[in-house]
Amino acid sequence: NAGVMQNPRHLVRRRGQEARLRCSPMKGHSHVYWYRQLPEEGLKFMVYLQKENIIDESGMPKERFSAEFPKEGPSILRIQQVVRGDSAAYFCASSPDRELFFGSGTQLSVL
Amino acid sequence: AQRVTQPEKLLSVFKGAPVELKCNYSYSGSPELFWYVQYSRQRLQLLLRHISRESIKGFTADLNKGETSFHLKKPFAQEEDSAMYYCALSAYNTDKLIFGTGTRLQVFP
């Protein structure tokens, strides 16, 4: 079991471009969580998904951010028209129960 | 509102010294508490959870509902304990974890 896989590890975008972050959960896990870590801050919950369902998106910004977890393929966190403030580490985690297994994260840098 | 507070950004100790990483939480119900650890160049991983009541790598944590605390303790720190430590809370009947801002533990030889 390769663990939670996130790609890319590093993503550089210019302001106004779109960022797509991918997460493949551990085999057998059907729950996916996205967290964001800003410099000097802790992990902030963004969204919790199960296959084809958004369960809790209370941490997602109202605009420009969206997430999906299709029946086939990885979970995608999409950020449209990125701004400098979106620069952060984005972590994905999957879970069979309360224990979260984290990926290595994607470091997004917006120029 | 659910909140986890880790008041120390950095804790530095010498090898062999006792360690206590503080964690306080705010939640009106019955939470489930966790400690996660991130060693250098590794991914975040679960260290221990309060319902297990076990000691992992010499670390223990007791949930104190009166003080709403879940401090992480180890009697004798080792250099390999140097890492970022995050306290986290899960509200009853949810799977969402609320994390604190983390404490960096540095253990000097």
pLDDT tens track for B75-102: 999 999 999 999 999 876 677 888 999 9
Tell me the nearest-neighbour CA distance from A70 into chain B, angstroms: 20
CB atoms within 10 A of CB A16: 10
| 3-state SS record for chain A | CCCCEEECCEEEECCCCCEEEEEECCCCCCEEEEEEECCCCCEEEEEEEECCEEEECCCCCCCCEEEECCCCCCEEEEECCCCHHHCEEEEEEEECCCCCEECCCEEEEEC
If interface means Cβ-Cβ distance under 8 Å, which residues of chain A face chain B? Answer: 3-4, 31, 33, 35, 40-45, 48, 55-56, 91, 93, 95, 97-105
- Which residues on B lie below 8 Å from A41 (Cβ)? 101
- For an interface test with A, the pick among B45, B96, B98, B104 (most A C-beta atoms closer than 10 Å) comes out as B96
Does B86 contact A42 at a Cβ distance shorter than 8 Å?
A: yes
Q: What does chain B come to in residues?
A: 109
pLDDT for A1? 60
- Which residues on A lie below 8 Å from B45 (Cβ)? 101-102
pLDDT for A88? 95
pLDDT for B93? 67
Does B97 contact A33 at a Cβ distance shorter than 8 Å?
A: yes
pLDDT for B92? 67
pLDDT tens track for A42-69: 889 999 999 889 999 999 999 999 999 9
Chain A interface includes B31 (CB < 8 A): no
> Which chain A residue has its CA at the smallest distance from B92's CA?
A98
pLDDT tens track for B51-80: 777 888 999 998 898 999 999 999 999 999
Does B43 contact A42 at a Cβ distance shorter than 8 Å?
A: no
Does B99 contact A102 at a Cβ distance shorter than 8 Å?
A: no
